[in-house]
């Protein structure tokens, strides 16, 4: 069975870049690697609804914390067999966002912390009820919310087809999300967490070796 490794962080933190670098490092170390990003906008009906809601095209759905939370959870639930297959056929399954992102964003929107009822609901729904595989390790790519906002704004300028959504443009929300992520990492929620400073260079090969160690 392969190792399930997850990268978490704010919008604009640089998760995709880190995933690309880790994939290269894992491959150079001789490990077989596959990846997936959530929400699965290109293949999932739930993710399509999520995207519409985030841009205000689904009435008040985007304001419903638990309603959005169940859509994110169902997106992963319907990917469960793909996740398990990937874990049985590869040494590493590297995910850009997973269950903790639902916990962090939902709790932040409810003005709760990592030990509040929303995070408990996410665990009960995604792990216990839906039976999603538990990560072996989770990475928190830590960047100041202001820097994450600058990066996502710059991405919007270079890719006009992917404008920032209503959550990305909510600076207060992003700050609260960052705080919940820190609490989740400190508590090693679901599995061990590794906090990566997204403002300084990371020794990717050392990080990859650490993540490959049982």
Question: In this predicted model, what pLDDT tens digit does every residue of 42-70 receive, in sequence order?
Answer: 999 999 999 999 999 999 999 999 999 99
Secondary structure in 3-state letters for 162-212: CCCCCCCCCHHHHHHHHHHHHHHHHCCCCCCEEEEECCCCCCHHHHHHHHH
pLDDT the model gives residue 156: 65
Which residue in 128, 98, 100 sits closest to 114, CA to CA? Answer: 100
Segment 97-139, tens digit of pLDDT: 999 999 999 999 999 999 999 999 999 999 999 999 999 999 9
Q: Whole-angstrom Cα distance, residue 190 to residue 170?
A: 27
Name 110's bridge partners.
Answer: none
pLDDT the model gives residue 202: 95
Residue 161 scores a pLDDT above 70: no
Which residue in 33, 39, 176, 155 sits closest to 96, CA to CA? Answer: 39
Residue 157 scores a pLDDT above 80: no
CATH T-level topology, domain 3-212: Rossmann fold (3.40.50)
Q: How far is CA 192 from CA 6, 68, 74, 140, 167, in A?
A: 11, 26, 24, 11, 27
Residue 30 scores a pLDDT above 90: yes
Global pTM value: 0.93
């Amino acid at each position: 069975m392969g190792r399930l490794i997850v990268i978490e962080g704010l919008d604009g933190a640089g998760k995709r870049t880190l995933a690309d670098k880790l994939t290269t490092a894992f491959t150079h170390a001789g490990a077989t690697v596959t990846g997936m990003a959530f929400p699965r906008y290109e293949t999932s009906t739930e993710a399509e609804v999520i995207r519409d809601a985030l841009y205000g095209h689904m009435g008040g759905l985007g304001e419903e914390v638990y309603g959005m939370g169940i859509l994110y959870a169902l997106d992963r639930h319907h990917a469960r067999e793909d996740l398990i297959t990937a874990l049985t056929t590869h040494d590493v399954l590297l995910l850009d966002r997973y269950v903790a992102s639902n916990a962090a964003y939902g709790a932040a929107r409810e003005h709760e912390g990592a030990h509040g009822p929303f995070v408990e609901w996410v665990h009960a729904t995604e792990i216990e009820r839906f039976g999603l595989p538990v990560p072996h390790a989770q990475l928190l790519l830590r960047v100041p919310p202001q820097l994450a906002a600058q990066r996502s704004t710059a991405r919007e300028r270079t890719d006009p087809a992917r404008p920032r959504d209503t959550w990305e443009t909510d600076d207060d929300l992003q700050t609260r999300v960052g705080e919940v992520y820190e609490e989740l990492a400190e508590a090693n929620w679901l599995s061990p967490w590794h906090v990566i400073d997204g403002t300084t260079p990371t020794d990717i090969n050392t990080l990859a070796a650490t993540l490959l160690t049982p």
